[in-house]
Amino acid sequence: MSGQKAIFPKARALRSFWASRRHVVRGLGSHSASNPRVCVVGGGPAGFYTAQHLLKGRQDVEVDIYERLPVPFGLVRFGVAPDHPEVKNVISTFTQTARQARCGFYGNIHVGKDVSVDELLRAYHAVVLSYGAEGNRTMGIPGENLDGVYSAKDFVGWYNGLPSNRELNPRLDCETAVILGQGNVALDIARILLSPIDLLKKTDITQRSLDVLAHSKVRRVLIVGRRGPMQVACTIKEVREMVNLPDTRPEMLPAEFQGVTEALKVLPRPRKRLTELMARTALEAPTEEELERRRKASRVWGFRFFLSPLEVLATTSDPARVTGIRLAVNRLEGSGEGARAVPTGEVEDVACGLLISSIGYKSLAIDAAVPFDPRRAIVPNTMGRVQEAAGLYCSGWVKTGPVGVIATTMNNSFDTARTLMEDMDSGVLDVSAAKPGSLGVRPLLEERGVRPVTFSGWEKIDAEETRRGKADGKPREKLLDVGEMLHLSRT
């Protein structure tokens, strides 16, 4: 009997939650039962862009977005660097989408655990998987689990307030950090490690991370890649930010730029401008003003090229802690974007007390019923249609792999939305039979004790984060505890 007493209040609370949903912006079941109903799994950029295009493209479609965390926006919230607030302006567009009468947002629902994809397919005419890339690509070398070695995904999640990374507490008690990988994320991390604290204080970086960075002893960051200057994966904006970062100076090896100047004239314009900037920084004599700025700088950064990781090093006196990285020295076979790094047989050891692997994110399988290619780490698809799975679609990184920027994800997601609507129009996707949508999912979640967070619930969290940030002169102070988020969303 005591067990029943414990369960009944929770069940009543869940019934009360779902009943209240009938009176909010979009009342459950208030639209025509024959409207096409689409479920989008993942509340990041891919999910919101997919929903946006569907709602714009068909005036009868209803879209529900299911998100594992209580808060929306995915990598816009947890991946974009704190000092790039302009990139986060897209949140206002996503907010407009979520507030539409034909759109519902349900956070705190873990698809694949709280509700299966098969159950969603029974409740909706179509399900779009847009849950991104939550896994890490591993280096596959000895020592990568030593203390002081972190994945870029976890390190970025730590300073951006991802709840699962809040306890990371990275070791920054060393002079030199090495970042493996030369994409935009690698440069974001380098910039955060070397930025003056006074600059970071004005961003939405978490206070917990700010306190750790304020006591950091890191003064030198090397950004290492297996190929050459003409193959780096970052964009000119990120390199320019490093070149102009206060209190820092560049330190690169001119020999690694051999032949680059001669090759510039045949490069496509974006690649040419990026390579020119790196070559000037590495090879040209600085102006008097720049020379003086570099003399005064207390921190150093630089690209290193033609190097691949072989082994993370430790010492016999401290075998659990990283003290360096052994790298294979490479040469290139071929040219341009298709050039391959080939080991020469030589090795180089670089001392460091912090090693961050920024070699890419990867998607994970969400549900045993969903086809998944573990080698490519994507859901196999044709133009967003999941292979051999009627009614199932995908967009974003789970569709293509972790490539491109937010604009790339937008176009990718629009393409999937167009594919889905074409299937509706042609009859490939049967939308003639009524589907219950969220009303069909409601009893399953009630039975499993899952209480979703609506968009209005998120707006309560948002208001509190903004209030806390304003008190410290910041745009927001992100909540790090899921329990606190849930409590606030229901007050």
- Each residue of 139-166: pLDDT tens digit? 999 999 999 999 999 999 999 999 999 9
Residue 335 is predicted with a pLDDT of 84
Q: How far apart are CA 62 and CA 458, in angstroms?
A: 20
Q: For 234-285, write each residue's pLDDT tens digit.
A: 999 999 999 999 999 999 999 999 999 999 988 999 999 999 999 999 999 9
Distances 317 to 141, 169, 323, 370 between C-alpha atoms, Å: 21, 23, 11, 48
Averaged pLDDT for residues 348-377: 95
Read off the pLDDT of residues 88-142 as tens digits, 9 standing for 90 and up: 999 999 999 999 999 999 999 999 999 999 999 999 999 999 999 888 899 999 9
Q: What is the DSSP string of 239-270?
A: HHHHHT-TTEEE---GGGGTTHHHHGGGS-HH
The pLDDT value given to residue 25: 39
**Residue 406: is its pLDDT beyond 80?**
yes
The reported pLDDT for the residue numbered 403 is: 87
The lowest-confidence range among 12-26, 115-129, 185-199, 469-483 is 12-26
22 pLDDT higher than 50: no
If we measure between CA atoms, which residue out of 243, 235, 160, 247 comes closest to residue 199?
A: 247
Instruction: Grade residue 13 by pLDDT with cuts at 50, 70 and 90.
Output: low
pLDDT computed for residue 34 by the predictor: 74
List the one residue out of 343, 347, 321 whose CA is nearest residue 333.
343
Name the residue among 416, 346, 412 with its Cα closest to residue 384: 416
pLDDT band with cut points at 50, 70 and 90 for residue 336: confident
pLDDT exceeds cutoff 80 at 31? no
- Of 22-31, 284-293, 402-411, 432-441, the one with minimum mean pLDDT is 22-31
> Mean pLDDT over residues 57-79, rounded?
97
The whole-model pTM stands at 0.92
The overall average pLDDT reported for the chain is 92
Residue 66 Rama label (left phi>0; alpha psi -120 to 50; beta): beta
Q: 405 pLDDT band (50/70/90 cuts)?
A: confident
pLDDT score recorded for residue 3: 41
CA dihedral 408, 226, 284, 246 (to 10 degrees): 60
pLDDT of residue 404: 84
How far is 379 from 112, CA to CA, in rounded Å?
15
Contact 396, 132 (CB under 8 A): yes
Using CA atoms, how far apart are residues 201 and 205, in angstroms rounded to an integer? Answer: 8
The residue to which tokens 């410290």 are assigned: 472
Residue for token pair 């496509």: 268
User: DSSP secondary structure string, 293-348?
Assistant: HHHH--EEEEEE-SEEEEEEE--SSSTTB--EEEEEEEEEES-GGG-EEEEEEEEE
Banded model confidence at residue 4, pLDDT cuts 50, 70, 90: very low
Of residues 1 and 132, which shows the higher confidence score?
132
As a whole number of angstroms, the distance between CA 316 and CA 308 comes to 24
Alpha carbon distance 463, 149 (integer Å): 36
Average pLDDT over residues 20-26: 42
Structural domains in the chain, sorted by start: 2-134+363-452 (3.40.50.720), 137-361 (3.50.50.60)
Q: Does pLDDT of 352 surpass 60?
A: yes
CB contact set of 88 (below 8 Å; sequence gap of 6+): 76, 77, 80
| Beta strand ranges found along 31-180 (DSSP E) | 37-41, 62-66, 103-106, 126-129, 135-136, 149-151, 176-180
Task: State the alpha helices, DSSP H only, in 66-224.
Answer: 74-78, 90-98, 117-123, 152-160, 184-194, 197-200, 207-214
Q: Which two tokens stand for residue 323?
A: 């003290």
Q: Are 479 and 149 in contact (CB under 8 A)?
A: no
